Structure 1
Amino acid sequence: MKKQGIFSGIIFIGFGLYFLSEQLHFPFLRSLQSWPTLLMIVGLALLGQAYYAKEYQQIFAGTILFGFGLHFHFLQYVKVWPNNIGMLLLIIAIGMLLHAQKTKSGFVYGLFFLLLSCVLLFYNRINQWFNFVESGISILWKFWPVGLIIVGTYLLFIKKR
C-alpha cells in the first residue's frame, strides 16, 4: 500500500468508535457491537484505500469484507433477509464487478457469479416456472395426435385448392 495513511486512519477511527461505544454503553449502539461490525470497518478501510489512494486491487477484498459484515448484520435484524449461499455469491459478484470497473479485468467472472447468485437466490421461483412449462408441455403431449389430425386435414382438404 503506497499511502498507508488512508487505510490506517480509517482503521483507527473505526475501531476507536467501536470500542468507545462499547465503553459508554449506549443502548442504541448495542446491536453494532459484534464481529460483523469489525468486518465492515476493515472493509471500509480497504475500500477507502482502494478509491482514494487509487490502489484498485483492494476493491475486491474491501467489498467482500464490508458486504459479508453487512450481510451478517442484516441476518440478525431483517427477518426477510435471505440466508443462503446465493447472497454470499452476490456479494462476491458485486466485488468482482466493482474491481472490473476500475481494472478492466474479471468482468466475465463477475457476470458469471452474478448469474449463479440469481439462480440460487430465486431457485424456488425458477423451479415453479419450469414446473409450469413442464405441465404445459405435458398437456400438449397428451394431445399430439390432434396435431396429426390437423396436418392430415390440411393435406386432404386445404392444400388441394
Structure 2
Amino acid sequence: MAFLGQGYSANDYEAILPGVIIAGFGLHFHLAGKISFWPNNTIGMLVLFISIGCFLRFQKNNNGLFQAFLFLVLALLLLFYDKVTDYLNLLQNGLSFAWKFWPAIIILVGVYFLFRRKK
C-alpha cells in the first residue's frame, strides 16, 4: 500500500506498478483458500496483476498500453487454459482439412488473382 500511496500522492507514477503487483499478490494469497470462486492459478493471477498495474500506470503517464494488453491476453490464456485448449482442438480439426487441400486452395487463389479485373 505504501507504493500505491507514493505513486498517487507524490506523483511518482513508476511506483504504481510494484504497488499493484505486491498488493494484488497479497490479496490473491489471502483470498485463494477462503473464497470458492477465486482462481488458484498463481501464474495467471500474477500476470493479471501486472496487466492491471500497467493499465493504471498508463492512465497516469500515457505509455505502456501495448504491454498492458499483451499481459492481459497472456493472463486470460493462462487463467482459462482448459477452455482455450478445447477451442484450439476444434480449430485443429478445421486446419487439418485445410492442410489436406492446401495445394488446391493456393491454385484457386492464384486463378482468382489471374482473372480478376483491376479497377
Query: Same fold by TM (over 0.5)?
Result: yes
Residue equivalent to 1:8: none
One-letter identity of the residue aligned with 2:9: Y
Identity %: 44
CA distance in 2, matches of 1:82, 1:131: 24
Q: TM-score, normalised by structure 2?
A: 0.71
Residue equivalent to 1:127: 85
Q: Give how far 1:108 is off.
A: 1.3
Q: TM-score, normalised by structure 1?
A: 0.54
1:112 aligns with 2:70: yes
Where 2:38 maps in the other structure, the secondary structure is coil
Where 1:61 maps in the other structure, the secondary structure is helix
Residue equivalent to 1:67: 24
Matched residues, number: 100
Max Rg structure:
1
Residue equivalent to 2:9: 52
- After superposition, the C-alpha distances for 1:90-138 in whole angstroms (9 at most, x for unaligned) are 0011111111221222221111111111111111111111222334555
1:102 aligns with 2:60: yes
Residue equivalent to 1:13: none
One-letter identity of the residue aligned with 1:54: N
One-letter identity of the residue aligned with 2:85: N
Where 2:50 maps in the other structure, the secondary structure is helix
Where 1:76 maps in the other structure, the secondary structure is coil
Give 1:19-58 correspondences, 5 Å limit: 44-58=1-15
Give 1:77-96 correspondences, 5 Å limit: 77-84=34-41, 85-96=43-54
CA distance in 2, matches of 1:50, 1:137: 48
Detail structure 1 runs of 4+ shifted over 4 Å in the superposition: none
CA distance in 2, matches of 1:106, 1:136: 36
CA distance in 2, matches of 1:127, 1:82: 18
CA distance in 1, matches of 2:16, 2:95: 47
Q: Give how far 1:80 is off.
A: 2.9
Gaps of 5+ in 1: 1-43, 145-161
CA distance in 2, matches of 1:52, 1:135: 54
